[in-house]
Structure 1
Amino acid sequence: MNTIPGNTAKEKSFSLTKKERLSSKKIIDKLFAEGDSILQYPIKMVFLKTDLTAGVKSQAGFTASKRNFKRAIARNRIKRLLRESYRLNKHMVYSELNDEQLALFFIFIGKELPKYEAIELAMKKGLSRIIQKLNEN
């Protein structure tokens, strides 16, 4: 039995473990150099099918610009909202990835602190667009 979380469509893992966080500088550089991007305001999503070393289906990174949000409190809140929204909706992507692995990066490009509902809506729409793009290729 494969131990990758979310391996089947029926199994939904609502956790976001440390292994599922994107931290490899090599993979991040490759992601921004070769990856596709989708803009679903207020989130820009960069993604790339690649081999991940952690043995999970996908790894994700999250960021908010210091230029737009000077205070770390605001940046941390935005990243927390992005992580929570991805954690609850990652099963959409996991169900479409068979034996493939995906690197994702979520960049908040809005100018104001968002409501969770706006992030959730953008995340759902963006992940469904990513699935469409992955199925096209």
Structure 2
Amino acid sequence: MKKYTFSKEERLCSKRLIDGLFHNGSSFVVYPYRVIYSRAAVALPFPVQVITSVSKRRFKHAVMRNRLKRLIRECYRLEKHNLYDYLNEHSLHLLLAIQYIGKEELPFTDLHQKMKMLLEKLSHELASSTLGKRN
């Protein structure tokens, strides 16, 4: 049974871990998202801890930034089970930052579709980096 939850423990809050993620992480873009990810050095309570951000420069009003972050978290919550399956299968823990780089707010269906693509690409990136380290 899949759990479509997004609890407090799944959010990335540790300043030390966030700094490490932004300094040592790998990134890619699936418009309108930019993703920064890295393997966690320590075991986490969940396979992935996530932080979302929206640019204050592009969205001046906090209401719009908060709405976009809510939509991003909702899209992630609905699609994370595939990533969790992959990570549990390979015993990996991940730190993840999802940044919204679009210039305007897109409809939820577009955001959801792009989130699905983003998580699939992340699984492929992890698979290729895991294979590279084994050889």
Pairing of 1:55-134 with structure 2 (within 5 A): 55-98=45-88, 99-134=91-126
What is the CA-CA distance between 1:53 and the residue it aligns to?
5.7
Give the partner amino acid of 1:83. Answer: R
Tell me how many residue pairs correspond in the alignment: 127
Q: If the length of structure 2 is used for normalisation, what is the TM-score? A: 0.90
Q: Which residue of 2 aligns with 1:48?
A: 38
Q: Which residue of 1 aligns with 2:24?
A: 34
1: CA distance, partners of 2:43 / 2:93 = 10
Q: Which residue of 1 aligns with 2:133?
A: none
Structure 2 residue runs of 5 or longer lacking an equivalent are 130-135
What is the CA-CA distance between 1:13 and the residue it aligns to?
1.5
Cα deviation digits, residues 33-90 of structure 1 (max 9, x gap): 1111110000101111113564111100001001000000100010000000000000
RMSD (CA atoms): 1.2
Cα deviation digits, residues 76-128 of structure 1 (max 9, x gap): 01000000000000011101113211111110001111211111111111110
User: Runs in 1 of length 4+ with deviation above 2 angstroms?
Assistant: 51-54
Q: If the length of structure 1 is used for normalisation, what is the TM-score? A: 0.88
Which of the pair is proportionally richer in helix?
2
2: CA distance, partners of 1:23 / 1:97 = 21
